[in-house]
């Protein structure tokens, strides 16, 4: 096993009642990278991730996660893998501090619960009972439980669903901190901006297969796509042109206008544009 590889998957297959949910999926995640899995509803993301986490059985294929087959997980392996589920159990009568402290007890080299509570932005709620938390605070607690064991590899399933914009930014900072400290992170998300800002590479799953893997700015040959240049015309209307050489076009417009080009914008397809095209084509 290559020590640079955190996850290696070959020809993964899983069917439910004869219908393939995962249909020959290959995937490699490098150690230390943030890898985002994108894909439409029902594409097979959760099934894949749960197989990697050791919570679902595969029908076929080779899978190694931190060098171990997750179908035969060891206690040591479990302690090296952190999982943030969507809503971790119910501990309504316990406080945030009690729950995080309780989970810390499951791990051989757990982090300080108070530090983790601070890290996820719940310091002000440490003594609150979990039933009194808002939805977004509850997700932060889920994250605290996923990282208190100081995992080498962290799985995050749609981590910021229900977060307000400020909470999302804070959460992104937390993920960046964890990544900077060397944690390998695999996240599923439906938010393209989240994938773009966090991920070193994104993988698009459709129909149970990985259809493309690339850094967010390269997905679908994005950076080679035509740029759209638009500007305001002297009569107050708008004009737009697609160009492979937008710099030259802008220079030409600047000469034509004798200086500043009114209302000038130059855009390339967003990650969302490219993603939707990719999914739509299937």
39 binds ligand ATP (CB under 6 A): yes
Residue 160, interface with ligand ATP (CB under 6 A)?
no
Interaction of residue 46 with ligand ATP, rule CB under 6 A: yes
- Of the two residues 15 and 243, which places its CB atom closer to ligand ATP in the complex? 15
Which one of the spans 35-43, 128-136, 162-170, 260-268 is the region binding ligand ATP (CB under 6 A)?
35-43
- Which residue, 103 or 158, is less far from ligand ATP as judged by CB? 158
Beta carbon of residue 158, minimum distance to ligand ATP (angstroms, whole number): 7
Report if residue 41 touches ligand ATP, rule: CB under 6 A: yes
Residue 222, CA atoms < 13 Å, CB-side half-sphere: 21
Q: Residues near 177 by Cβ (< 8 Å), separated by ≥ 6?
A: 119
**Exactly one of 38, 44, 154, 201 binds ligand ATP (CB under 6 A); which one?**
44
From the list 43-51, 74-82, 168-176, 194-202, the region that binds ligand ATP by CB under 6 A is 43-51
Residue 183 binds ligand ATP, judged by CB under 6 A: no
Q: Which C-beta is closer to ligand ATP: that of 194 or that of 261?
A: 194
* Residue 80 found at the interface with ligand ATP (CB under 6 A): no
Is 21 a residue that touches ligand ATP (CB under 6 A)?
yes
Alpha carbon distance 22, 191 (integer Å): 22
The smaller minimum CB distance to ligand ATP, of residues 3 and 41, is found at 41
Residue 233: partners with Cβ closer than 8 Å, 6 or more residues away: 239
Least CB distance to ligand ATP at residue 170 (A): 24
Smallest distance, ligand ATP to C-beta of residue 33, A: 21
Q: How many binding residues for ligand ATP (CB under 6 A)?
A: 10
Q: Which residues contact 165 (CB under 8 A, 6 or more apart)?
A: none
Site for ligand ATP contains 3 (CB under 6 A): no
| Residues 29 and 186 sit within 8 Å (Cβ to Cβ) | yes
> Is there binding between residue 43 and ligand ATP (CB under 6 A)?
yes
Answer whether 168's CB lies under 8 Å from 190's CB: no
Asked whether position 16 contacts ligand ATP by CB under 6 A, the answer is yes
Distance CA 100, CA 54 (A): 22
Binding site for ligand ATP (CB under 6 A): 16, 21, 39, 41-47
């Amino acid at each position: 096993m290559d020590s640079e590889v955190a996850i290696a998957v070959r020809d993964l297959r899983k069917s439910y009642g004869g219908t393939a949910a995962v249909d020959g999926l290959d995937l490699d995640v490098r150690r230390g990278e943030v890898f985002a899995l994108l894909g439409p509803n029902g594409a097979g993301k959760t099934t894949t991730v749960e197989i990697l986490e050791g919570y679902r059985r595969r029908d076929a294929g080779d899978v190694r996660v931190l060098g171990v087959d997750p179908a035969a997980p060891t206690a040591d392996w479990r302690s090296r893998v952190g999982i943030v589920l969507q809503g971790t159990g119910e501990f309504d009568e316990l406080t945030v501090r009690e729950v995080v402290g309780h989970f810390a007890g499951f791990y051989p080299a757990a982090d300080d619960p108070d530090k983790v509570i601070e890290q996820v932005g719940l310091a002000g709620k440490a003594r609150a009972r979990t039933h009194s938390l808002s939805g977004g605070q509850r997700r932060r607690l889920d994250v605290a439980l996923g990282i208190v064991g100081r995992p080498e590899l962290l799985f995050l399933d749609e981590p910021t669903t229900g977060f307000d914009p400020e909470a999302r930014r804070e959460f992104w900072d937390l993920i960046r901190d964890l990544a900077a400290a060397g944690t390998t992170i695999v996240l599923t998300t439906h938010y393209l901006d989240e994938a773009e800002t966090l991920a070193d590479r994104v993988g698009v799953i459709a129909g149970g297969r990985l259809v493309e893997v690339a850094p967010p700015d390269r997905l679908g040959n994005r950076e080679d796509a035509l740029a759209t240049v638009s500007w305001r015309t002297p009569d107050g209307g708008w004009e737009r042109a697609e160009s492979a050489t937008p710099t030259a076009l802008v220079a030409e417009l600047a000469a034509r206008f004798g200086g500043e080009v009114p209302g000038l914008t130059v855009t390339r397809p967003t990650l969302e544009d490219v993603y939707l095209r990719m999914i739509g084509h299937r």
